[in-house]
Amino acid sequence: MEMIFNLTAKKLISHDAETSSENLRENFVAFIKGLISFPLDIPGTAYHECLQGRKKAMKMLKNMLQERRMMPRKQNTDFYDYVLVELAKEETLLTEGIALDLMFVLLFASFETTSLALTVALKYLSDYPLVLQKLTEEHEAILKKRENPDSHLTWSEYKSMTFTFQFINETVRLANIVPGIFRKALKDVSYKGYTIPAGWGVMVCPPAVHLNPAKYENPLDFNPSRWEGGEINGVSKHFMAFGGGMRFCVGTDFTKVQMVVFLHCLVTKWNPVKGGNIVRTPGLQFPDGFHVQLSEKRIPKLMKFDLKIQHFTPKRKKRDKQTHTVDAGGVKGGKEGGSGGSNEERGDPEFPGGHKIGISDEAFLARSNPPP
């Protein structure tokens, strides 16, 4: 969580946690812990700490915005720069208050929801090796199409990741990271014989929708393929992991980009060590953490090199040298009936000069013409 929050804060508002005198992350931690708690605003309660955390975080964001306004940059490099450009326009709909709320929501989304979604995604990848294999194949296919395999992700590559988006949708559907969505009735609403008066608050429960067997067959099963042929980026009353209606989560696309980039860099370089237990209080938590071990995945390459074989006939003292070109995958050389050549004697970039071995005529012919 700390890594993702610091990265997002640095990219969005150029906040460096190591050099800052105030801890922005701690304020968000206090806010999240009391986000769903009994509304008792007295010191010592989770609700009070939640309110204080938001208040302090908003004060920090406002001070940063004012400092940037007093010392504008020559070139736009982060979100604050573009906010200042928009605020300077005469007919803008954006206000400073809206901009600060937007920034708070983006940081919150990247801090809590994205980190938890990625942790759950790792757990599902370790629990379902076939899903990991299919996800890896999609991303390795992207690498093979590039002229430079080490180049960065492009927007067209991002949009082409069909199975990746299916995997993300299925992950957040089962994770139900946000246990409730709050709305306010603007007018009297009649629903199944009940009337919700205007001004009342309504809590929507996404798990009740995402685990509905009438919509999702075997809803408790993790099955990314259930999204095949459907809309994976749209809004639906049957899928509200990112909210719904006019107040759709402003950080949806940002969150998906973070998850896709993380998965793209990870699927070919990781090895799970042990999982973690999921608990809900009522939000999603990993009390024991989730432990993984990262290791570089090496893909063996098919190499072609010259193999100089000195074969001889026992009846003759003079040896006849012949050169044979062979294909080998990861061959390091060796010796058979003679001595192997040194690195300087090898001919290919990795095997300069070939590799010399001694072998009898009978053995050479037998290996060159194996029995049917």
Contact 80, 62 (CB under 8 A): no
| Structural tokens at position 296 | 């570089």
Is the per-residue pLDDT at 311 higher than 50? no
Percent of the chain with pLDDT over 90: 19
What is the C-alpha to C-alpha distance for residues 279 and 289, in angstroms, rounded to an integer? Answer: 11
How many other C-beta atoms are found inside a 10 Å radius of the C-beta of residue 243?
A: 18
| Structural tokens at position 229 | 């042929």
For the segment 137-167, what is each residue's pLDDT rounded down to a tens digit?
A: 999 899 888 888 778 888 999 999 999 999 9
Q: For the residues 281-286, what does the mean pLDDT come to?
A: 70
Q: Which of these ranges, 59-68, 210-219, 316-325, has the smallest mean pLDDT? A: 316-325
For the segment 50-85, what is each residue's pLDDT rounded down to a tens digit?
A: 999 999 999 988 988 888 888 877 777 788 888 888
pLDDT of residue 298: 62
How big is the chain, counted in residues?
Answer: 372
Of 289, 290, 296, the closest CA to residue 271 belongs to 296
For the segment 230-248, what is each residue's pLDDT rounded down to a tens digit?
A: 766 666 778 888 877 776 7
With bands split at pLDDT 50, 70 and 90, how would you rate the model's confidence at 250? low
Which residues is 328 bridged to in the sheet? 303
With bands split at pLDDT 50, 70 and 90, how would you rate the model's confidence at 275? low
Place of tokens 């060159």: 368
- Domains in the chain, start-ordered, CATH in brackets? 1-127 (no CATH), 128-268 (1.10.630.10), 302-368 (no CATH)
Is the per-residue pLDDT at 202 higher than 80? yes
pLDDT of residue 365: 40
